[in-house]
Amino acid sequence: MDPFSMIPPELRSEVLLYLGNRLDIAQLIRASPTMLAQYCASKLLIRRAFLKSELTDSLLQDALAIVQFPQARESDEDSIVVRHHIEKWALAQLPDPFRQHDCTTIDILYRLYNRLSIYIHDYITKATAVFPPRAYLGLPDLSSKRRDRVFRDQKIGLEVIRLDDLSNTERKRLLGAFLRYEVLCKIYRLQPGVWVKPDTYDDLVAIQSYKLQGWEHEAVRCVHGYVEDLYGALFAQYADSWLPDMTRVQWTLLNQTISRTGLIFPNDTCFSSADYYTDMNLGIEPSISASSLALLGLDQIASLIMSPKDDHGRPRFLEPWLRGISNRYSRTFSFYAHPNHFLYQGSDMEEPEFEHWEECPGVYRELRRHIANPKDKDVPVEEPYARLQRKVYQQRAWVFFDDARCYPDQNISSHFPTRKQLMRQNRLMKRAFFAPDEIAALRRSQKWHDEYFEKFVE
C-alpha cells in the first residue's frame, strides 16, 4: 500500500514543494503512484515555486533580459527599443512575472532554465572528467533526454554531474554565469545588416558589471571558453580527428612521461579549438576563430549541434556555414577585441575586499595563488604558460565549486597543473621531438592511428 495515499492532497503538495530538488521529486514520484498523481495535479504550482527559488534577484533579471530581448533591426526606432530594454535590465527594472502571475513568461523562463541546464551539466561533467581533453571532444545530445556526449555517434562515456548534485551556491554561480554570458552575447551580437559599434551599450553594461566581483567576471569568461570548445568539438568531428583512449591516471601524477601513441603536450592537457580548426584544413580567408564564433550565443551553437550529420557522423553544413559567416562578418569580428568588451572586464586577480573573501568559491580560493598575477612582474600574465594555465583552469571550472568533492579522487592538486608542471612537460616534449607541433597534429589524426595500428600492432 502506498503510504502517501493516507495523507490529504494539501500535505502531499507541501511535501513536493518542500523537496524542491527535481531529482528528489523524480525519485519520489517513481516510487509512489499517489505522489505521481499529485505532482501531475500540482505541476504548475511546483514548477513556479522551483523556478522562483532558483532565479533570484539578478538571475531573474538576466533571464528576463534574454527571453524578452527585442529582435534587432536596422531602423532607428528598433534601436531605441533595444536600448530601452537593455536600460531596464541594467537598472533591474524588468517586471517580475512571479508578482504579476505572468504564467506565459514563467513557462518561457522554465524552458530557458532547462536549456541552460543541459549546457551546465555538459560543462561540469567535462570539467571534472579524469581526462578533460577527451571529454571535450564530445557534444551534448540536445535532442535526447539521454544527454549522452557523443563523438561521431560514439558515446564518450562520462559520469554525468547534474545541477541537482550541487550545492545551492554552486548552482547559483553556474546559472548566474551562463545567464550573464547569454544576455551579454545578445547585447553585443552582430546581426546581419545591422551595424552596432562595440561600445554602443557599454555605459549600460557597466552599471551591472560594476556590481560583479573579480571571480564573477572570470566565471563569465569560463562560459565563453566552454562555448568556444563546443565549436572546437564540431571542428574535431568534421576533421579526421582521433578519439583518445580513456586514461585513468592524470599526467600530473606520472613521473615525466610522454605517451608513445596518445596525444602529446599541450593537447593532452588542454583542449584546443584552434588546433582542431586548423586540422579541418578549409583554407577559409579571412580565417575566423572559435573564440569569436562563441560570442554569437548559445542558440547559434545549438542549431549547429543539432544540424544533420553525414554517414560518418560529421556535421553536414558546418563548412558552408563557416564560409558564409566568414564573408559576412569578416570586417566586424575584429571589433570583439575592443578593450571594453565584456570578456576583458574585471580582473579576478585583484585582492577582494575582506568582507567578500568568504563569498569566493572554495576551489577558486585554493587555486588563486597558482595563477599569474598582473602585479607580479616576474610572471607576465601574457607569458605562454600563464595563458595556457588559465585556459586549463577555465576548462576545469575553477571558479564554481565549493570544494574538491566533484573532481577525480576529490583532489584538486592533481587536476590543476601548476605553471612549473606545464613548463616541465613542455621541455620534456621538446627534448623528445624535433618538430613537436607536427607530431602533435599527427597524434590528433585518426589516419595516423590507423596506419600505426596496421604497421606495428597487427
pLDDT tens string 384-429: 888 999 999 999 999 999 999 999 999 998 899 999 899 988 888 8
pLDDT recorded at residue 353: 52
399/319 same-domain check: yes
pLDDT above 90 covers what percent of the chain?
44
268/405 same-domain check: yes
Q: Per-residue pLDDT averaged across 130-147, rounded?
A: 84
Q: Per-residue pLDDT averaged across 61-66, rounded?
A: 97
pLDDT recorded at residue 344: 62
pLDDT recorded at residue 326: 76
pLDDT at 40 over 90: no
41/166 same-domain check: no
Helix, strand, coil percentages (3-state) for the chain, rounded to 5, are: 60, 5, 40
pLDDT above 70 covers what percent of the chain?
83
Lowest-confidence range among 18-27, 291-300, 398-407, 416-425? 18-27
Domain range enclosing 23: 3-54
Q: Per-residue pLDDT averaged across 328-340, rounded?
A: 55
CA angle 233, 234, 240 (to 5 degrees): 85
Other Cβ atoms less than 10 A from the Cβ of 6: the count is: 9
pLDDT at 300 over 80: yes
pLDDT at 355 over 50: no
183/255 same-domain check: yes
Length of the chain: 458
pLDDT tens per residue across span 215-261: 999 999 999 999 999 999 999 999 989 999 887 666 666 656 778 88
Cα first-last separation, the chain? 61
25/67 same-domain check: no
pLDDT at 195 over 70: no
pLDDT recorded at residue 171: 95
Distance between CA atoms of residues 107 and 89, nearest Å: 20
Q: Which strand (E) or helix (H) includes residue 223?
A: helix 214-238
* CA-based nearest residue to 201, from 186, 219, 223, 182: 186
Task: Give the model's confidence band at 365: pLDDT under 50 very low, under 70 low, under 90 confident, else very high.
Answer: very high
- At residue 52, what is the residue type? K
Cell numbers that stand for 208 in this block: 551591472
Q: Which strand (E) or helix (H) includes residue 67?
A: helix 58-67
pLDDT at 28 over 70: yes
Question: Which among 15, 31, 54 is the end of a domain?
Answer: 54
* CA-based nearest residue to 233, from 342, 138, 366: 138
Look at the chain and report how many structural domains it folds into.
2
pLDDT recorded at residue 254: 63
Distance between CA atoms of residues 125 and 246, nearest Å: 15
84/22 same-domain check: no
Mean pLDDT, the chain, integer: 84
pLDDT tens per residue across span 314-324: 888 999 999 88
pLDDT recorded at residue 327: 73
Q: Pick the residue with more confidence: 259 or 280?
A: 280
Distance between CA atoms of residues 162 and 335, nearest Å: 36
Question: Which among 16, 36, 54 is the end of a domain?
Answer: 54
- At residue 339, what is the residue type? P
Tell me if the bond preceding 286 is cis, omega within 30° of 0: yes
38/111 same-domain check: no
269/138 same-domain check: yes
39/110 same-domain check: no
Residue 391 phi, psi (nearest 5): -60, -45
For residue 285, the number of C-alpha atoms closer than 13 Å in the C-beta half-sphere is 1
Q: Per-residue pLDDT averaged across 156-163, rounded?
A: 86
Q: Per-residue pLDDT averaged across 63-71, rounded?
A: 94
pLDDT at 456 over 70: no
pLDDT recorded at residue 13: 81
- At residue 370, what is the residue type? H
**What is the sign, positive or negative, of the torsion defined by CA atoms of 376, 379, 384, 387?**
negative
Distance between CA atoms of residues 313 and 309, nearest Å: 5
Residues 6+ apart with CB under 8 A from 281: 239
Beta bridge partners of 194: 191
Residue ranges of the alpha helices (H) in 68-210?
76-90, 103-127, 132-135, 168-188, 202-209
14/140 same-domain check: no
pLDDT at 354 over 50: no
pLDDT recorded at residue 67: 97
Distance between CA atoms of residues 170 and 159, nearest Å: 18
30/138 same-domain check: no
Cell numbers that stand for 286 in this block: 579571412
7/105 same-domain check: no
pLDDT at 360 over 50: yes
pLDDT at 25 over 70: yes
* CA-based nearest residue to 396, from 117, 133, 115: 133
